[in-house]
Amino acid sequence: MKALPSIQEMERAYKSSDASYDGIFYLAVRSTGVFCRPSCSARKPYPRNVEYYATSREAVFAGYRPCKRCRPMESNGATPDWLEGLLAKIDGDPSARYSDEVLRRNGIEPARARRYFQKTFGMTFQAYCRGRRLGKAFQQIRSGDDLDDVALGYGYNSHSGFRDAFSRTFGSSPGKSRTGDCIITSWIESPLGALIAAATSEGICLLEYSDRRMLDAQVATLRKNFHCAIIPGDNQHLALLKKELEEYFHGNRKSFTVPLISPGTPFQEKVWKELRRIPYGKTVPYEEIARRIGSSEAQRAVGHANGLNRIAIVIPCHRVVNKNGKLGGYGGGLWRKQKLLQLEQGQNLF
């Protein structure tokens, strides 16, 4: 079971409508029977009337209904102001070290940063900073920069310290990494909530909703398939993906050009290839996908492969529906599937 922050910390968070605690806990109000996000703009309840839950599911099972104002069952993808500034500083100078004291001088409580980075990026704040430093170093090494200059340029006092840190992250020494690769991860804000994207030097290998339960399993599959480190950062494929997704959500893009790399079993790859052939604004039943790939009796296997698609939206698994026209399943939640289909049918929802 997920551990909750202290009562005092949660009380401070909801009283200040701190969005960085959204998803960390939910508060339920006994007098109204409603549960909310910490960032909810509704009038703040008295602490004696509040109960705390780690997940929205627990609050629902305790008999509370979701607030209609903050919609705690949905992902709002809001980025706290303090986080935007912090990420900009880290990207501007990856070699800088961010101790707890440095964070406090910048008006950021270290416990808040640790919790938020663990929840959003799946790693501690210090691990994120370390990954950014080593990721930048990796890119310089691949570009042919001198190893000594790279090590000293990123704040390592000794070559051996740099080599040890590099090897723990990438699995090989810096000298062997000029032709290597790694998976770069980034997050993308969208009208449907935060998305986690990842790319190698060849193309996009992951695009998932940050709150999807299968995200950890998808990341584990990436490690197994690519045999390389996963670190935060950016590259040309991620930049193009962000641009094309923005155009898509504004209704100005019907197909994607960003390169994809999505290895799977031969059957899975056939399904995913067929998904990309479904026209924008159209839907196709699972049975039809099975027929098109020459496996007309494999509807259930098609559904399973559909659910294991690691590149949401771009490989449009949301366009596959039940034979009776009902939505069927969707890993990101049926409400997202509905909104994507409505968007592609010309409704301006965002």
Report pLDDT digits (tens) over 92-129: 776 677 888 888 888 888 888 888 777 666 667 877 77
| pLDDT confidence tier of residue 270, bands split at 50, 70 and 90 | very high
pLDDT for the residue 57: 67
Q: CA–CA separation, 28 vs 64, rounded Å? A: 7
Chain-wide mean pLDDT for the chain?
Answer: 80
Q: What is the pLDDT of residues 14-50, one digit of tens each?
A: 999 888 788 888 999 988 888 899 999 888 999 888 9
Phi-psi region of 214 (alpha: psi -120 to 50; beta: other; left: phi over 0): alpha
C-alpha distance across the termini of the chain, in Å: 35
pTM attached to this predicted model = 0.58
Separation in Å, CA 202 to CA 171, 194, 245: 20, 23, 19
Q: Is the pLDDT of residue 263 over 50?
A: yes
3-state secondary structure of 159: helix
Contact predicate 121/128, CB 8 Å: yes
Nearest Cα residue to 298 out of 338, 266, 341? 266
Q: Which value, in Å, is the radius of gyration of the alpha carbons in the chain? A: 22
Question: Which residue bears the tokens 């909703």?
Answer: 209
**Angle CA(279)–CA(284)–CA(287) in degrees, nearest 5?**
145
pLDDT for the residue 1: 46
3-state secondary structure of 209: strand
Contact predicate 127/134, CB 8 Å: no
130-144, 165-179, 212-226, 242-256, range with greatest mean pLDDT: 242-256
Contacting residues for 301 by C-beta, under 8 A, at least 6 apart? 267, 290, 295
Contacting residues for 143 by C-beta, under 8 A, at least 6 apart? none
As beta bridge partners, residue 66 has 35
Q: CA–CA separation, 344 vs 49, rounded Å? A: 44
Q: Cite the active site residues.
A: 317
Mean of pLDDT values over 288-300: 88
Which domains, ranges and CATH numbers included, belong to the chain?
7-66 (3.40.10.10), 81-176 (1.10.10.60), 182-350 (1.10.10.10)
Please tell me what DSSP assigns to residue 224. H
User: What's the one-letter identity of residue 149?
Assistant: D
126 sits in which H/E element: helix 125-142
Contact predicate 142/178, CB 8 Å: yes
Contact predicate 320/287, CB 8 Å: no
Please tell me what DSSP assigns to residue 184. E
**Encoded tokens for 295:** 């496996």
3-state secondary structure of 207: strand
Q: What is the pLDDT of residues 68-90, one digit of tens each?
A: 888 886 655 456 677 777 877 87
